[in-house]
Amino acid sequence: MYADRINALPPYLFAEIDRKKREAERKGINVIDMGIGDPDLPTPPHIVEALCHAAGDPANHRYPTYEGMLAFREAVAGWYRRRKHVNLDPDSEVLTLIGSKEGIAHSAFAFLNPGDTALVPNPAYPVYNNAVIMAGSVPFYMPLLEEEGFKPDLDRIDVDVAKRAKLMFLNYPNNPTAATADTEFFREVVDFAHEHQIIVLHDNPYSELTFDGYEAPSFLGVRGAKEVGIEFNSLSKTYNMTGWRIGFAVGNSELLNGLRVVKTNIDSGTFQAVQVAGIAALTGPQECIRENVAVYRARRDVLFEGLQSAGIELRKPEATFYLWARIPPGFSSSMAFSIFLLERAGVVVAPGTGFGEYGEGYVRFSLCMDVELIEEACERIRRIL
């Protein structure tokens, strides 16, 4: 019945967790879901007000432009200049997206032919791998190992693979591992891309959720990066706008044009009222970012200390709202430990294998809940361990 591209997708390994979660809830168990990466904090009021005002303007009720309002793209360029010290031409180096996820997925269709090779980190946000598969291309997995800081070792990529590769996906600060990268790593990536003529697609939605003095650089801040790649970003995590579906791709104008061609044949752009709200987010008061970071830092510290006291091995992250933890000895797999936590403690976590084979041995905890719930989850875990 289904096309081969659908049948080729890996199984949804979270389905069993979802089924058991519903089963536990039917039994009356108060489930604490730490598997979801969806901010529970509200969108700042000035952004909501901008949307409400714009939604009442009939000029915003018609089809938007495919590349997005110039005013929104100018706001993106200004934000990048102020926060990332990267200069962008809003007319040719910024493209509006219906959330960065769709842009990432569509990029595979823009740059990959059937049979082409793409370098995909593992473990990783599943969209990278699945987009490559749906484009009829071949993912080559770059292991993200703890001993290497959860960054790919580019020197270990076989020369023949590098020559065949058309593009590379990267994501720092990283989901699911919460690992970070510095400009030196990005320099290595740019040199590698130039040497092998590889397109780099860097996903950077957690760039503003950083702690303890760490500041996440833009991939485009490295000399020569704009010649080989583009960066995806989103208002979802920075401004608590996951449901609004607005993001952007920035960087190499020729690559952005390829992505734009795909989008013009598939979607009709982002609702203009949401773009107006996006302008309010990018150009308005930025205290909301600092407030978000303070909330997530407090939650991170509570969860880190709670899991450590339960005997779980993990590192304190410098970015994102995730904690990536080793499963305790005695459990056969990350899925087995996840099911154990759900059935015995009513705590949902994301099994590492849901992000790829190299995620085995780990689980991901999310910080998208009140401190009180985090404390309760930690107490439940301590009791059963």
The domains of the chain are located at 4-42+287-384, 45-283
Stretch 100-122: mean pLDDT? 97
124: CB partners within 8 A, 6+ apart: 144, 169, 171, 174, 175, 176, 355, 356
Nearest-angstrom CA–CA distance, 328 and 272: 49
175 close to 322: Cβ distance less than 8 angstroms: yes
Predicted local confidence at residue 314, as pLDDT: 98
pLDDT at 225 over 90: yes
pLDDT at 117 over 80: yes
What is the band of 284 on the pLDDT scale with cuts at 50, 70, 90? very high
Q: Structure tokens of 3?
A: 């096309």
E strand intervals along the chain: 32-33, 94-97, 117-122, 138-143, 165-171, 199-203, 229-234, 247-251, 322-326, 347-348, 350-351, 362-366
357: CB partners within 8 A, 6+ apart: 122, 123, 141
Stretch 254-266: mean pLDDT? 97
What is the band of 191 on the pLDDT scale with cuts at 50, 70, 90? very high
Nearest-angstrom CA–CA distance, 108 and 120: 12
DSSP tag of 267: -
- Mean pLDDT score of the chain: 96
pLDDT at 229 over 80: yes
Q: Which of 20, 7, 121 is nearest to 355 (CA)?
A: 121
Q: What is the pLDDT of residues 329-381, one digit of tens each?
A: 999 999 999 999 999 999 999 999 999 999 999 999 999 999 999 999 999 99
Q: What is the pLDDT of residues 353-365, one digit of tens each?
A: 999 999 999 999 9
pLDDT at 12 over 80: no
Stretch 49-75: mean pLDDT? 97
What is the band of 36 on the pLDDT scale with cuts at 50, 70, 90? confident
Longest dimension (CA), the chain: 62
Q: Structure tokens of 12?
A: 């949804």
Please give the radius of gyration of the chain, using alpha carbons only, rounded to the nearest integer. Answer: 21
pLDDT at 13 over 90: no
Predicted local confidence at residue 43, as pLDDT: 98
Q: Exposure of 128 by Cβ count < 10 A (0-12 exposed, 13-18 middle, 19+ buried)?
A: buried
Stretch 20-26: mean pLDDT? 88
Q: Which of 252, 185, 182 is nearest to 224 (CA)?
A: 252
Predicted local confidence at residue 122, as pLDDT: 98
Q: Exposure of 316 by Cβ count < 10 A (0-12 exposed, 13-18 middle, 19+ buried)?
A: middle
Stretch 131-150: mean pLDDT? 97
Predicted local confidence at residue 24, as pLDDT: 86
What is the band of 327 on the pLDDT scale with cuts at 50, 70, 90? very high
Stretch 78-88: mean pLDDT? 97
Q: Structure tokens of 56?
A: 């009442």
146 close to 298: Cβ distance less than 8 angstroms: no
Stretch 50-77: mean pLDDT? 97
Distances 202 to 137, 178, 231, 307 between C-alpha atoms, Å: 19, 15, 5, 31
Strand 229-234 relative to strand 247-251: parallel, antiparallel, unpaired?
Answer: antiparallel
Backbone torsions φ then ψ of 336, nearest 5 degrees: -60, -40
Backbone torsions φ then ψ of 317, nearest 5 degrees: -75, 150
Predicted local confidence at residue 292, as pLDDT: 97
Nearest-angstrom CA–CA distance, 309 and 374: 13
SS3 26: helix
What is the band of 297 on the pLDDT scale with cuts at 50, 70, 90? very high
- List the end-to-end C-alpha distance of the chain, in Å, as a whole number: 46
SS3 168: strand
Stretch 8-34: mean pLDDT? 86
Nearest-angstrom CA–CA distance, 123 and 150: 9
On whether the 4-42+287-384 domain is CATH 3.90.1150.10, my answer is yes
Predicted local confidence at residue 50, as pLDDT: 98
Class assignment of domain 45-283?
A: alpha beta
Stretch 241-270: mean pLDDT? 97
Stretch 40-53: mean pLDDT? 98
Nearest-angstrom CA–CA distance, 93 and 78: 12
Task: For the chain, give the percent of residues with pLDDT over 70.
Answer: 100
CB atoms within 10 A of CB 82: 12
Query: 12-26, 95-109, 190-204, 298-312 — which is least confidently predicted?
Result: 12-26
